[in-house]
């Protein structure tokens, strides 16, 4: 607002001043050039008229003049003095003649004596003002009778000039009022669009995108408005384009599964994508502007970064973050080249290889385990048979013992191969499942009976808590038996003597029939829980083998549960015991009812 008034004021006064200066200039020009001429012209006019009057009077005789001096003076509008050739004043229209001194020495009289006509402008002591005098010789038949002199005050001339000027000034004043008005209107017409234009540009400067202005005239200002509108539109178009391009890039950047970040010259993260944020589970503020060390706290990554800075070569480094649920990332460090404004920047791309690493480890473990599992009984078999072949053992009893051991190991090998085959069949879906209505209470009872002697041998109490009636459900009865047997076998094996193993079933838990087998055994460490279903995975390297397992039991259970459309959950506290929960869908696996 203040700016608007100031702007309007300034321009208004500028225009007004221009007008005033123009007026003053006119007056000055008149004063310096016109006034002397006007004064001259008027003076000369008065003089000419008086000279004319004087010449006419000179045609009259002295006597006539003397007689009519008063009338003549009134007619000519001047003072008339009659002087005889000797210079004595004979008569004066305004004064008594005897009081006046000799006038022969007056310059106009002297001039008239010689030329017949004389003029003079002189200060009259008598009247105390500038006077114009004209004298003419009065002759009669070439004889000088005397002189007639007319005198008139020049103040009259000044007065008429004054009148004239008063009229001129009045006119100028009358002109000045509309010119002020005009200046006001004019300035407003110019200032208003300029003001709006200024507002517009100010808003653009402030980063706004104001609507274009209406150009209501075709003059320079109108064209200026059109140009500003054009520039505005062009700028907005450019911004729109840049924004669209940026958002396209960002969408691609953010859409990537890989985590990406860039480091500025100060080793601080200045850009990163959503993939990275999700990967490491940190907030924006915890990443932006931080150093990689602050964010990742990885010695390996830092070492790789140092190596990269030394060599400048693209580096791949595997890093592990977090302890509880380790995140394994493959970090790729490279320089950003060929993009202006990005000199000295470093780009890091992270691939989550946790799952890949897990699979790789599982595969390696599997091969190592299979080899190991097969070799142990084979070594025993070969060893005993070699001993027998050498014929050094003659004792019948010893031979029997050797053969039995070899046989036991061969059977173990057989069991192992059977388990592997079962597993493979379930995995490939070749195992034929016979889905029928199954009475879970009955199956549990059978399993309990089967395991009773083993439990008793280890002094373990076997408790069953089965509510009746349990709803029937669809399953392959033999497979369910196998599942329960495996779990129960494990529970008994890993519970120290004097412990308890409890089987508990719940009829309907959200559409599932749930069987829980809890023990008071040694338990399983937390970090091993996720890997339990892996083939040959052992919590401790020797614990299962010593107890005679193939290391495939839980793996088979897991796969069989999946084949039933159910799942397996294991909860455990080391030193306190383990609870295995088996969730069987009450309706059997999807589509099971239609199977033969």
Interface with other proteins, residue 574, by CB under 8 A = yes
Contact between residue 154 and residue 130 where contact means Cβ atoms under 8 Å apart: yes
Q: Which is nearer to other proteins, 262 or 302 (CB)?
A: 302
Contact between residue 133 and residue 150 where contact means Cβ atoms under 8 Å apart: yes
* Cα separation, 68 vs 57, whole angstroms: 10
Please state whether 207 falls in left (phi above 0), alpha (psi between -120 and 50) or beta: left
Q: Which of residues 239-268 bind other proteins (CB under 8 A)?
A: 267
Q: Token pair for residue 403?
A: 């053969």
Closest C-alpha to 57, from 183, 127, 144, 149: 149
* Cα separation, 275 vs 282, whole angstroms: 11
Q: Which is nearer to other proteins, 379 or 527 (CB)?
A: 527
Q: Which is nearer to other proteins, 289 or 548 (CB)?
A: 289
* Cα separation, 113 vs 136, whole angstroms: 8
Q: Which is nearer to other proteins, 255 or 326 (CB)?
A: 326
Any bridge partners for residue 144, and if so which?
Answer: 139
Q: Which is nearer to other proteins, 298 or 490 (CB)?
A: 298
* DSSP assignments along 473-525, one per residue: EEEEHHHHHHHHHHHHHHHHHTS-TT-EEEEEEES-SSSEEEEEEEE-S----
Site string for other proteins, 267-296 (x = CB under 8 A): x---------------------x-x-xx--
Q: What is the nearest approach in angstroms of other proteins to the Cβ of residue 421? A: 31
Interface with other proteins, residue 497, by CB under 8 A = no
Q: Which is nearer to other proteins, 499 or 589 (CB)?
A: 499
Q: What is the nearest approach in angstroms of other proteins to the Cβ of residue 329? A: 15
Q: Which is nearer to other proteins, 218 or 324 (CB)?
A: 324
Question: How far from chain centre, in Å, is Cα 84?
Answer: 112
* Cα separation, 370 vs 372, whole angstroms: 5
What is the DSSP code (8-state) at residue 550?
Answer: -
Interface with other proteins, residue 323, by CB under 8 A = yes
Interface with other proteins, residue 236, by CB under 8 A = no
CA atoms within 13 A on the CB side of 197: 20
Q: Which is nearer to other proteins, 418 or 576 (CB)?
A: 576
* Cα separation, 178 vs 174, whole angstroms: 7
Among positions 187, 298, 354, 572, the unique one binding other proteins when judged by CB under 8 A: 298
Interface with other proteins, residue 300, by CB under 8 A = yes
Contacts of 309 (CB under 8 A, 6+ apart): none
Interface with other proteins, residue 528, by CB under 8 A = no
Q: Which is nearer to other proteins, 73 or 331 (CB)?
A: 331
Q: Which is nearer to other proteins, 195 or 282 (CB)?
A: 282
Closest C-alpha to 462, from 500, 515, 518: 500
Among positions 540, 547, 548, 569, the unique one binding other proteins when judged by CB under 8 A: 540
- The span of 90-98, 130-138, 297-305, 359-367 binding other proteins (CB under 8 A) equals 297-305
Compute CA distances 20 → 16, 23, 172, 263, 343, whole Å: 6, 5, 11, 68, 64
Q: What is the nearest approach in angstroms of other proteins to the Cβ of residue 304? A: 12
Site string for other proteins, 143-182 (x = CB under 8 A): ----------------------------------------
* Cα separation, 508 vs 472, whole angstroms: 10
Among positions 302, 358, 376, 506, the unique one binding other proteins when judged by CB under 8 A: 302
Q: Which is nearer to other proteins, 182 or 293 (CB)?
A: 293
Long-range contact list for 118-121, CB < 8 A, 24+ apart?
A: 119/47, 119/51, 121/154
Closest C-alpha to 530, from 280, 373, 388, 355: 355
Q: What is the nearest approach in angstroms of other proteins to the Cβ of residue 323? A: 6
Q: What is the nearest approach in angstroms of other proteins to the Cβ of residue 362? A: 16
* Cα separation, 169 vs 353, whole angstroms: 100
Q: What is the nearest approach in angstroms of other proteins to the Cβ of residue 366? A: 18
* Cα separation, 80 vs 95, whole angstroms: 10
Burial of 212 by CB count in 10 Å (0-12 exposed, 13-18 middle, 19+ buried)?
middle
Q: Which is nearer to other proteins, 167 or 293 (CB)?
A: 293
Total chain residues near other proteins (CB under 8 A): 15
Closest C-alpha to 370, from 423, 406, 407: 423
Q: Which is nearer to other proteins, 176 or 327 (CB)?
A: 327
Q: What is the nearest approach in angstroms of other proteins to the Cβ of residue 547? A: 14
Residue 592, phi then psi, degrees to nearest 5: -65, -35
Q: How far apart are the two ends of the chain, measured CA to CA in Å?
A: 90
Q: Which is nearer to other proteins, 216 or 294 (CB)?
A: 294
- The helix-helix angle for 477-493 and 440-457 (nearest 10°) equals 30
Q: What is the nearest approach in angstroms of other proteins to the Cβ of residue 267? A: 8
Q: What is the nearest approach in angstroms of other proteins to the Cβ of residue 284? A: 15
Among positions 6, 246, 297, 401, the unique one binding other proteins when judged by CB under 8 A: 297
Q: What is the nearest approach in angstroms of other proteins to the Cβ of residue 539? A: 8
Q: What is the nearest approach in angstroms of other proteins to the Cβ of residue 524? A: 10
Output the CA torsion sign for 427, 428, 432, 438: positive
Q: What is the nearest approach in angstroms of other proteins to the Cβ of residue 194? A: 44
Contact between residue 151 and residue 81 where contact means Cβ atoms under 8 Å apart: yes
Q: Which is nearer to other proteins, 289 or 471 (CB)?
A: 289
Q: What is the nearest approach in angstroms of other proteins to the Cβ of residue 579? A: 18
Among positions 525, 548, 576, 593, the unique one binding other proteins when judged by CB under 8 A: 525
- The span of 51-59, 84-92, 299-307, 403-411 binding other proteins (CB under 8 A) equals 299-307
Q: What is the nearest approach in angstroms of other proteins to the Cβ of residue 574? A: 5
Q: What is the nearest approach in angstroms of other proteins to the Cβ of residue 299? A: 4
Interface with other proteins, residue 575, by CB under 8 A = yes
Contact between residue 295 and residue 321 where contact means Cβ atoms under 8 Å apart: no
Residues interacting with other proteins, by CB under 8 A? 267, 289, 291, 293-294, 297-300, 302, 323, 525, 540, 574-575
């Amino acid at each position: 607002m203040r700016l608007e008034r100031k702007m309007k004021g300034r321009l208004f006064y500028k225009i007004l001043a221009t007008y005033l200066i123009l007026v003053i200039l006119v007056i000055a020009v008149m004063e310096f050039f016109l006034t002397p001429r006007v004064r001259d012209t008027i003076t000369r006019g008065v003089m000419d008229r008086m000279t004319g009057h004087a010449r006419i009077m000179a045609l009259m005789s002295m006597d006539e003049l003397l007689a009519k001096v008063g009338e003549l003076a009134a007619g000519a509008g001047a003072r008339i003095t009659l002087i005889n050739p000797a210079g004595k004043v004979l008569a004066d229209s305004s004064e008594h003649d005897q009081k006046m001194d000799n006038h022969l020495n007056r310059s106009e009289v002297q001039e008239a004596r010689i030329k017949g006509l004389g003029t003079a402008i002189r200060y009259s002591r008598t009247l105390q003002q500038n006077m114009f005098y004209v004298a003419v010789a009065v002759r009669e038949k070439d004889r000088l009778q005397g002189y007639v002199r007319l005198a008139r005050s020049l103040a009259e001339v000044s007065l008429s000039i004054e009148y004239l000027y008063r009229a001129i000034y009045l006119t100028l004043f009358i002109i000045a009022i509309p010119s002020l008005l005009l200046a006001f209107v004019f300035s407003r017409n110019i200032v208003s669009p300029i003001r709006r234009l200024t507002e517009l540009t100010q808003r653009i400067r402030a980063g706004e995108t104001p609507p274009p202005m209406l150009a209501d005239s075709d003059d320079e200002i109108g064209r200026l408005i059109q140009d500003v509108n054009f520039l505005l539109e062009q700028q907005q178009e450019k911004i729109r384009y840049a924004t669209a391009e940026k958002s396209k890039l960002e969408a691609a950047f953010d859409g990537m599964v890989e985590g990406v970040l860039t480091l500025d010259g100060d080793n601080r993260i200045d850009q990163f994508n959503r993939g990275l944020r999700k990967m490491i589970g940190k907030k924006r503020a915890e990443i932006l502007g931080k150093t990689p060390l602050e964010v990742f706290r990885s010695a390996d990554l830092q070492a790789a970064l140092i190596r990269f800075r030394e060599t400048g070569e693209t580096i791949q480094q595997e890093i592990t973050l977090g302890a509880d649920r380790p995140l394994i990332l493959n970090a790729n460090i490279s320089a950003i080249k060929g993009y202006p404004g990005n000199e000295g920047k470093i780009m890091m791309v992270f691939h989550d290889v946790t799952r890949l690493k897990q699979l790789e480890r599982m595969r390696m473990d599997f091969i190592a385990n299979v080899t190991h599992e097969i070799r142990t009984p084979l070594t025993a078999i070969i060893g005993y048979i070699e001993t027998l072949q050498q014929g050094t053992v003659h004792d019948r009893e010893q031979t029997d013992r050797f053969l039995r051991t070899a046989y036991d190991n061969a059977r173990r090998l057989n069991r192992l191969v059977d388990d592997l085959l079962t597993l493979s069949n379930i995995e490939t879906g070749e195992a034929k499942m016979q889905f029928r209505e199954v009475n879970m209470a009955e199956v549990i009872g059978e399993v309990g009976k089967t395991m009773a002697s083993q439990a008793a041998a280890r002094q373990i109490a076997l408790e069953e808590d089965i509510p009746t009636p349990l709803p029937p459900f669809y399953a392959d009865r033999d497979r369910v038996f196998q599942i329960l047997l495996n779990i129960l076998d494990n529970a008994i094996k890993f519970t120290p003597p004097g412990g308890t193993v409890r089987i508990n079933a719940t009829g309907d838990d959200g559409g599932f029939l749930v069987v829980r087998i809890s023990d008071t055994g040694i338990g399983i460490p937390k970090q091993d829980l996720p890997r339990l279903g892996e083939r040959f995975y052992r919590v401790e390297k020797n614990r299962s083998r010593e107890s005679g397992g193939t290391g495939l039991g839980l793996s088979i259970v897991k796969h069989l549960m999946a084949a039933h459309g159910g799942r397996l959950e294991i909860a455990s506290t080391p030193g306190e015991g383990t609870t295995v929960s088996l969730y069987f869908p009450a309706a059997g696996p999807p589509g099971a009812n239609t199977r033969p």
